[in-house]
Chains A and B, each alone.
Chain A
Amino acid sequence: MAEHAPTRLHGLDGVLIALAVAAAAHVASLPPWVTLLLVAAGAWRWTADRRGWPLPPKWLRTASTFAAAIAIFASYRTLNGIEAGTSFLVLMAGVKLLETRTSRDLTVLVFIAYFLLYAALLRDQRLPLLPYLFVGALVGTAALMRVHAGAAGSSLKEILRRTAALMAQALPLALALFLLFPRLPGPFWGIQVSHSARTGLGDEMTPGDVSDLSVSGDPAFRVRFFGPVPPPVQRYWRGPVLHEFDGRSWRRTRGQAFPQQEATVSGTPFDYQITLEPHDRNWILALDLPAAWPEQDAYRAFDFQLLSPRPITDVASFRLRSYPDYVAGRLLPESVRHKDTQLPPQGNPRSVALGRELAARYGDPQAIVGAMLRMFREQQFVYTLEPPKLADNAVDEFLFETRKGFCEHYASAFTVVMRAAGIPARVVTGYQGGELNPIGGYMLVRQSDAHAWSEVWMEGRGWVRVDPTAAVAPERIERGLIGAVGADEPAPGRLRQESELWLQTTLAWDAVNDFWNEREVRFSADGQFRLLERMGFKEPDWRTLGLGMTASLAAFFVGLSLYLAWKHRAPARDWPARLHEETAHRLRRRGIVPGPAEGPIAFLDRAAAACPDLARDLAEIRDVYAALRYGPLPTETDLRRLKYLVNRLRA
């Protein structure tokens, strides 16, 4: 047997690249062994193609399939969900590589690559991912194009040109589907995104530990105000309220129900839409004090914190109203009073003593608060992002020894002293500040704006916000973090503040991100209906949506067909060709239709045989037509004769 030279699988390289690009979108969340196996399978298949090695036998492939499934199940306890599902898909792509012999298999692999790209969207729908997915789709399509381009192949440039053209053509279709494809309400298909570590506020605060929160310049949320914008000193965004103190750390309440508390509001409200970056917790940041919120998406806890029934795992928007002037919790239930005056029985003795001393000296809560703030202001307290570490009696050490810290230290120490003085007090965490983005017309609040302050309860005034940081470093409240820390201390965004160009660039980039979140990711069923209403549909529902989608798809394809028909329209026919068509048209009525591979002469011969009454005319048409169209010397006489004959046929 003459050994055939091993035929190289055409287009394999491109498909391997496409697969690698698609899998790379998941590498960060895949277990290393899955990535390693895919790389090994790809490398092996590539070498096998080069060397002409045989592919593994069927039993081995079957065994690897089962082994992959078992391994995935063993590490995730499921084959379902995003993490296990993607790992499984990646492993299956590796197994598929082992049996890839034809261009059909390669096509399947490209489809797997497409699906992997799509699965990346389940994990993350934020803007920076988009260009990557776009490139991935481009590479996948180009690989597909190359698989089907033939051994001669087209040049890479030609393939890329055609791929780009294809994707540009697909754009209107994608737009129509984006706008009109019926949206499922709620999180996408209810898939639980794993709670990976995302930056944001925690439900615990330990002053003295190193905080990495304050150095992250990532966006926390964006706010669009409808109407007046609060001045910097009123930009307190309420987050988790911390009640429990163990001597070092502050925590939220757990497993304890408290009665709802009333709040009366006055003055001019701020109406705004807040768009939170996903933080995997269920709290909603809100300007102090939230008074109106969407009832089905949020509720207000007894400590006036807004909560969502579900963790916020995707970008989420809420329409809220807040009042800067309020009286919250005029009547203090005994359970809340007990909770918010509790201190651990031991620890921080000097602070507790200070509280008791203040209470004894002033009596009036307002005066006690004032005395404490005065102490912060007048003694040598320093605001810094790099405070010394604190040991067991953290509050004592901070208040009487180190005296260096940032908001957490001040809020914690202040609250402890107030509790010792018998005043109900708690720590409120959240964000303070916000930067207006003139390009996007919204306010951006960053993780670095995270803040902690205190709330104390006073008879007749309810819960009153006291920000001890403001006493130490008023610039922190007025100018943000950069204004508060020393010039030699590293702080996020310092470069932004000092370079105008950089500032403008970051503002523009954030505006683009905001647009993406607002218009693309958050484009839900409501948005679709609003769009339809604007287009003139009255009371649009699912049917309108389906109809609109069908209609626009139909319009797209009809338009495409018309364009293609125009592009590939038959060239202007010469007279003989037209007359031949006319003849064929006449004959079609008699049921004589030209076959797919039938030439005109053979067709006329067949027609003559089928219609004896026309046989003579058809024979003459055939001869004249052959001479006119294919003969060396077509004459005007022949053409007239053909016209005459065809006309006679018509009669």
Chain B
Amino acid sequence: MSAAAHGAAPALDSAGVERVEAAVRALNGIILGKERQLRLCLACLLARGHLLIEDIPGVGKTTLAHALARTLGLTYQRIQFTSDLLPADITGVSVFDAETGQFRFHRGPVFSQVVLADEVNRATPKAQSALLEAMEEHQVTSDGQTYPMSEPFFVIATQNPMYQVGTFPLPESQLDRFLMRIELGYPEAALERQLLLGSDRRDLLVVLEPALTPQQLLRLQGEVPRVHASDALLDYVQAIARYTRQASEFEAGLSPRAVIGLLRAAQAWALMHAHPGVLPEDVQAVLPSVVGHRLAPREASRFRDAGQIGQHVLETVPVP
């Protein structure tokens, strides 16, 4: 991908973009050989979306979330979802303060800038929806009182793809709340050797320097919707949406929310790569992660994995 910076690119925070690159470099040192996923993860964050990572335990989901928080200088909390998790365990609870004689709201772990919701599918739908509501509204309401989340607010939820007894996989309507879903996958052999030889990732985390301030991050998030999307590009996005709605391969097409998400993610991607406007390549880069969990194939055997769904859409819809 070229860094084509030809022509005027107004209001582009080039310093911010460089800092994002620095963040990618820093993260790359922790999570080996997953640059693409890291970039997608950052794009998701920049587009103010939330991320769902679906993978088996031990591939570095927690490390990724933790490293991300540190590189971006954000506060971080991890919520381990279990079957007995209550909504209050996530959002917080009002406690009676004997000194003041009043109830005081104790903010839960969700009041953090980066929240890792580990194994969301192990909790009951009730607990899940407490998190999903906070994600959607960017606020928590308790006893009639509304508490806004700290900004930026980024939820990384992980889900174990192997359904086990007593799990509640997120229904499709909830999956739509996540802008992207990615899989980390096993590392390559050479990189795994590095993992085996190198020091503990957790030790590396401690020495990780923030590459971005929260203020810079917020500014970049504000830039994303302003990245230029030309008519030709919107035609392409709409052609993709139309195809998913008409094709017989899928149960249902992309919702308008999903299409907006696709454009935002592409804008974030274009911003990260300092493109003058959104290129079709930017859409193509984010599309598999954005649509993979939203398009349910009518016949499960048709596609091997979610990535294939995105690839199929890309190959079928020509760039106008």
Interface residues of A (CB under 8 A from B): 1-2, 10, 102-104, 148-152, 571, 574, 577, 596-602, 605, 619, 622-624, 626-627, 629-633, 635, 638
Contact = CB atoms under 8 A, between A and B. Distances in A.
Contact of B4 (A150, A599, A622): A622
Contacts of A600: 279-280, 319
B59 interface: no
B319 to A, nearest CB: 5
A591 to B, nearest CB: 20
B276 A630 contact: yes
B4 A632 contact: no
A2 B163 contact: yes
Interface in B269-294: 275-281, 283-284
A627 B7 contact: yes
Interface centre among A151, A623, A631 (most CB of B within 10 A): A631
Contacts of A624: 6
Contact of A633 (B2, B7, B250, B298): B7
Given A1-B164, A150-B252, A597-B314, 15 more contacts: A2-B164, A10-B298, A151-B252, A571-B320, A599-B319, A601-B279, A601-B281, A619-B2, A627-B6, A627-B276, A630-B278, A630-B280, A633-B10, A635-B7, A638-B7
25 contacts: A1-B163, A1-B164, A104-B299, A150-B248, A150-B250, A150-B251, A151-B252, A152-B252, A571-B320, A574-B232, A597-B284, A599-B279, A605-B2, A623-B2, A623-B6, A623-B7, A627-B4, A627-B7, A630-B229, A630-B232, A630-B233, A630-B278, A630-B279, A631-B9, A638-B7
B150 interface: no
Given A152-B253, A601-B280, A632-B10, A2 B230 contact: no
A513 to B, nearest CB: 42
B41 to A, nearest CB: 22
Nearest to A628: B7
Interface string B281-320: 1011000000000000011000000000001001110111
B96 to A, nearest CB: 39
A633 B232 contact: no
Interface in B1-58: 1-2, 4, 6-10
Given A151-B251, A601-B4, A626 B279 contact: yes
A2 B170 CA distance: 12
Secondary structure type dominating chain B contacts: loop
B248 to A, nearest CB: 5
Contacts of A630: 228-230, 232-233, 275-280
Contacts of A598: 319
Nearest to B2: A605
Contacts of B82: none
A605 B3 CA distance: 11
Given A629-B230, A631-B228, A2 B168 contact: yes
B216 interface: no
A602 B230 contact: no
Contacts of B318: 596
Contacts of A597: 284, 311, 314-315
A149 B278 CA distance: 33
A596 B318 CA distance: 7
A602 B311 CA distance: 16
Interface residues of B, number: 43
Given A601-B4, A623-B6, A632-B277, A102 B319 contact: no
Contacts of A627: 4, 6-7, 276-277
Contacts of A601: 1-2, 4, 279-281
A152 B251 contact: yes
A102 B232 CA distance: 39
Contacts of A605: 1-2
Interface centre among B248, B276, B315 (most CB of A within 10 A): B276
B248 A148 contact: yes
Contacts of A2: 163-169
Interface in B131-168: 163-168
Contact of A599 (B228, B251, B284): B284
Interface string B255-279: 0000000000000000000011111
A596 B53 CA distance: 28
Nearest to B166: A2
Interface string B187-215: 00000000000000000000000000000
Contacts of B275: 626, 630
Contacts of A632: 7-10, 228, 230, 276-277
A599 B236 CA distance: 11
Contacts of A622: 2, 4
Contacts of A638: 7
Contacts of B1: 601-602, 605
Contacts of B253: 150, 152
Contact of A602 (B233, B251, B281, B316): B281
Nearest to B121: A2
A154 to B, nearest CB: 10
A103 B169 CA distance: 25
Contacts of B2: 601, 605, 619, 622-623
Given A2-B168, A150-B250, A601-B281, A629 B299 contact: no
Given A151-B251, A152-B251, A631-B228, A596 B280 contact: no
A318 B202 CA distance: 99
Contacts of A633: 7-8, 10
